[in-house]
Amino acid sequence: MDIAFGKGRLAAQRLRSAIPVELFRYFDLYLYVSKAARGRLAQHMFIFHEDEHGRLVYERSIPVSTGREQQERYFTDTPSGLFQLDPARLERVHYSREWDGAPMPWAMFLKYTIDGRATGVALHAAPGHESHLGHRASGGCIRLPVKEAQLLFRRIRRDEEGLVPAFAAEEGGRRTNVAGVLLRDEAGRPSFIPGLRVLVLIESSAGRTPESA
C-alpha cells in the first residue's frame, strides 16, 4: 500500500470515529490535524472532501507545527477537539497580540470560545518557520506551509460559505463544546447560522487505532 494513502486512510478512520454521524450531511471539507510529537500521523494535517455518495475523499497531507506543549508566557498548547472555522475571522494579514505582533498571514481562526472570549488559535502560514514544520514549534496555533495556507484560505473563502449547524455552548454559554454537540430548538432541530462548511478535528493520535498519544 502507498505510504501516503495508508496514512490518509488512518486519518479518515479517525474522522469517522470522532465526528458525530449527523454532522457529515452539513459539511464539505474536513481537516484532520495530529498534534502528536511522534508517530505515523504526527505533526501533519490531512485534507479530505466528501463526495456525492458521502464518502471521504483523501486529497493530501501537509506538514504542520502545533503547540510546543510547555509553559512559557502562556502554556503553548493546541486545543484538542472538533472545531468549526469562524467566518468573521478569515484574515489575509494578521499580527498576534499575544506574541508581540508575530505575523500570521492567511489566518483561519477556530470558532472557539473560552470564558466568554474568542481565542486566538488559528491555522496560518509560517513564514520564516517552514524548516520547523513537522515538529511541535508554535505558541498554540497550527502553522502551515505558506503556499498551502494561501491555497486553503482562498478555497475556503471561495467555496465553503453557507448555513451550518451551530455548536452548543458549555459552562453557561461561556465555552464552545468541542465534541460536535449541536445547539437545538425546542423541537430538537439543529439551529443554523451563516458559517463555513469546514470541520477541523485536532487530536493527539500518533496513527494507531484506537487512538494513542
Q: What pLDDT tens digit does each residue of the chain (213 aa) get?
A: 456 779 999 999 999 999 999 999 999 999 999 999 999 999 999 999 999 999 999 999 999 999 998 877 776 899 999 999 999 999 999 998 876 678 999 999 999 999 999 999 999 999 999 999 999 999 999 999 999 999 999 999 999 999 999 999 997 889 999 999 999 999 999 999 999 999 999 999 876 644 333
Name the helix (H) or strand (E) containing 12. Answer: helix 3-18
Q: Give, as one character, the DSSP assignment of residue 84.
A: E
What local confidence, expressed as pLDDT, does residue 206 receive?
Answer: 74
What local confidence, expressed as pLDDT, does residue 172 receive?
Answer: 84
What local confidence, expressed as pLDDT, does residue 2 receive?
Answer: 58
What local confidence, expressed as pLDDT, does residue 70 receive?
Answer: 82
Beta strand 161-165 pairing with 175-176: unpaired
What local confidence, expressed as pLDDT, does residue 209 receive?
Answer: 46
What local confidence, expressed as pLDDT, does residue 208 receive?
Answer: 60
What local confidence, expressed as pLDDT, does residue 190 receive?
Answer: 98
DSSP state letters, 138-194: BSSSEEE-HHHHHHHHHHHHHH-EEEEEPBPEETTTTEE-SS-PBPB-TTSPBPEEE
pTM of the model: 0.92
Beta strand 44-50 pairing with 56-63: antiparallel
What local confidence, expressed as pLDDT, does residue 27 receive?
Answer: 98
Q: Are 118 and 109 in contact (CB under 8 A)?
A: yes
Domains in the chain (CATH in brackets) are 3-203 (2.40.440.10)
